[in-house]
Amino acid sequence: MKTYERIYQRLLKENFITGETLARELDISRAAVWKAIKTLEDNGIQIEAIKKRGYRILSGDLLLPDVISNALNLPVSYLVSSESTQQDAKTAALNGAQAPHLYLAPNQTAARGRLGRHFHADKNGGIYMTLHLKPNASYDKLPPYTVLVASSIVKAISRLTDKSPEIKWVNDIFLDGKKIAGILSEAVTSVETGQVTDVFIGIGLNFHISTFPNELDGIAASLFTETPTITRNDLICEIWKLFFKIPEHDHIKVYKEKSLVLHKQVTYEKDNQVITAKVSDITDQGHLILETNNGQIVTLASGEVSLSSW
């Protein structure tokens, strides 16, 4: 673990701690302490320094890949500069990286969501990560990964905070009517065997972001608007612990319970026509069962729906 990461963990435990104490405890020089403090500030952490009292954290947190890796018993690659963790994971897979493996970055410069859409990635206040899995299964035997991850996110947030997010089919997490997270699941299939060899599950989550671009104002929101009561490390660990440990049927139950669209009237587009229907059920694979206004039953496996009330 790097010196600045060790100092960060020590600062979390104290209201104030002097540079002299930090140097003695970590067996480093005062100059090394000062350099580490500056590194933390460069990573978006606001630190107060008072003569004879020392340092304390006022706001911000630091991603700790070693802590996350140990908590999950999972290799974690931390990329200080990343265009997209999704692309980082794909490139590593092409180069023979093993799975499962988590790819993590403090921000992204070319973040993309479903259908190649751009999404806002904050410099310091977001969670951007991709899990690489190697299921080696036929497509029809794959677990509903997007459902499992969506369930894990809302359950982790509910467990660690007093907030209660919901899921907008198929891959968005909402809080108080605004989007705080999105999920992108992609698969690679072998032409020879027809098996899905690799799956990449990307998550972009607005953890503690104070401002958004004008075009997202009123649409996007952050999990925390005030000082967070947990760290990003806490939430990342909880999400993936739930993902791996909870039985699939329990995830499906959570997905339905937290659904924004189940038993609601929605609209969707088909053959350039806007169709209105009521969502009567969600299958174990995460597909929507719709009843249209003329009584027709339709299964929607992909695409987008809009709540009519919105």
Which residue numbers belong to the known binding site for biotin?
108, 112-114, 179
Query: Which has the closest alpha carbon to 59: 118, 1, 12?
Result: 12
Q: Tokens for 23?
A: 């140097």
Query: Which has the closest alpha carbon to 69: 135, 5, 152, 21?
Result: 5
How many CA atoms, within 13 angstroms, populate the side-chain half-sphere of residue 165?
A: 32
Give the residue ranges of the annotated binding site. 108, 112-114, 179
d(CA 251, CA 274): 31
What are the C-alpha distances in Å from 21 to residues 38, 40, 52, 138? 17, 18, 11, 57
Query: Taking the mean position of all CA atoms in its chain, how far away is CA 21?
Result: 36
3-state SS, 3-56, equals HHHHHHHHHHCCCCECHHHHHHHHCCCHHHHHHHHHHHHHCCCEEEEECCCEEE
Main-chain phi, psi angles of 240, to 5 degrees: -75, -25
Residues 6+ apart with CB under 8 A from 74: 68, 100, 101, 102, 240
